[in-house]
A and B are shown apart, each in its own frame.
Chain A
Amino acid sequence: MNGVHDMGGMHGLGPIEAPADEPLFHAPWEARVLALTLAVAAWGRWTLDASRHQRELIPGPDYLAMTYYEKWLTGLIALMTRSGLVTAEEMESGRPAPGLAKAAPPLTAERVPAVIASGGPTTRQGPAPHRFRVGDTVRARNINPTGHTRLPRYARGHVGVVERDHGAHVLPDTNAHGLGECPERLYGVRFSARDLWGEEARAGDSVHLDLWDRYLDPA
């Protein structure tokens, strides 16, 4: 979707504020939101791609005004209510629905180190034909899906060169919407800064994107 989250190449969003002594969390609630998001995800009711898309669905003006963990909190609540893990009534009252048996959390403290250490690899075995080889010239397709995609707007229509073949990876465009992993070849593509941004960009500069097979046409 062409949301404000797809902000690569925009001007006017303010100066970078990078204090030298920034704490890891600005307030304890941020740490709790991080932990809640990871712990509830262990129920397996949604994918990482779906959680990214849920944050993209935050209305643009709100998205730009929110801090990172505010977006995470908003996304988490939406995912939990959509998936039925909690109901709107429970969110309102702050208490579990009457008569409900207490569940057993899938992520216990003992399992945390192993779960973090294993992560969630997105490479997949099996046939994933590659239409492109390292060295090929490709054009990022001009697509404007209303759902989730990881092809940034600034690259669409531009020509680049395949530099790496990362193998088959889960496709976010389908996986975010419960339409399956549909693994496709993922390529590292180099775009020259001048091709993307025009003559004012420096000649030797480049931008590198990892793009799925369906994002690309031969050029």
Chain B
Amino acid sequence: MPHDADHHHHHDHDHGQEPPSDIALRVKALESLLVDKGLVDPAALDAIIDTYEHKVGPRNGARVVARAWTDPDYRERLLSDATAAIAELGFGGRQGEHMVAVENTPTRHNLVVCTLCSCYPWTVLGLPPAWYKASPYRSRAVIDPHGVLAEFGLTLADDVDVSVWDSTAEIRYLVVPERPAGSEGLGEDDLAALVTRDSMIGVAKLAPLAR
């Protein structure tokens, strides 16, 4: 187990916690018990973590968005049956079994939340960021979307309406952001590199490209 047995190793992103914390020790003890009982395979645990650290993340969603921007037929398929259209690019499975894509326009902005827990489209965005799972965002996104967006530094024009998608069932939502001005002529790979996670949750827009 990569994190075991080295209590002197201070990981560099612990935000001030003193490792090994009480909870780190509890989790380590639990894992040992479950491995000793034969309930879990430690190699499977590593494989799960590797999947979400290296294979499944917002680059998947960015591929989908870039394809939709460059291929009108694909965009149509994405908006009518997102699960199938996303599967065309090889993405699917856990927490993305039933997808809907919602497209931002000059007059409509989409924002995704789960007020009851933290449902999130893992297949296209990976694991959710901490703020998405925390109470401030979950509580206020539905009642005060403009205030929430302002906290992310985004102020929408007065004529832009907000649709908030509270994904409390098993349908998962992917926001297709507007293609940034100045990106004309860019290929699909270059476009995908522009697409941010936050723009696909709906808490950001993509900035115009400086030319």
Mark A residues whose CB is within 8 Å of B.
5-11, 13-18, 22-24, 26-29, 31-36, 38-40, 43, 52, 55, 64, 67-68, 70, 73, 77, 85-86, 90-91, 94-96, 100, 102-105, 107-109, 111-113, 115-123, 150, 152, 154, 164, 166, 169-170, 172, 186, 188, 190, 193, 196-197, 201-202, 204-212
For chain B, give the interface size range.
Answer: 35 or more
If A11-B140, A16-B148, A24-B127 touch, whether A107 touches B37 (CB-CB below 8 Å) is no
Question: Does B41 contact A39, Cβ atoms closer than 8 Å?
Answer: yes
- Bound-state CA distance A32–B53 (Å) is 12
Question: Does A24 contact B52, Cβ atoms closer than 8 Å?
Answer: yes
**In the complex, chain A residues whose CB is within 8 Å of the CB of B41:** 39, 105, 107-109
**In the complex, chain A residues whose CB is within 8 Å of the CB of B133:** 68
If A107-B40, A205-B161 touch, whether A116 touches B94 (CB-CB below 8 Å) is yes
Q: How far is the CB of B56 from chain A (nearest CB, A)?
A: 7
- Which residue of chain A has the shortest Cβ distance to B166 in the bound complex? A209
Question: Does A152 contact B116, Cβ atoms closer than 8 Å?
Answer: yes
**Choice from B44, B113, B129, B170 contacting A169 with Cβ under 8 Å:** B170
**Choice from A16, A38, A67 contacting B152 with Cβ under 8 Å:** A16
**In the complex, chain A residues whose CB is within 8 Å of the CB of B29:** 94
**In the complex, chain A residues whose CB is within 8 Å of the CB of B94:** 115-120
- Bound-state CA distance A64–B97 (Å) is 29
Question: Does A13 contact B139, Cβ atoms closer than 8 Å?
Answer: yes
Question: Does A68 contact B166, Cβ atoms closer than 8 Å?
Answer: no
**In the complex, chain B residues whose CB is within 8 Å of the CB of A193:** 162
Pairs across A and B, CB under 8 Å, 26 listed: A9-B142, A26-B13, A29-B21, A32-B28, A34-B52, A36-B34, A67-B130, A86-B33, A94-B29, A95-B33, A103-B39, A105-B41, A108-B43, A108-B44, A109-B47, A116-B93, A117-B92, A119-B95, A123-B97, A166-B98, A166-B169, A197-B143, A206-B161, A208-B163, A208-B164, A210-B168
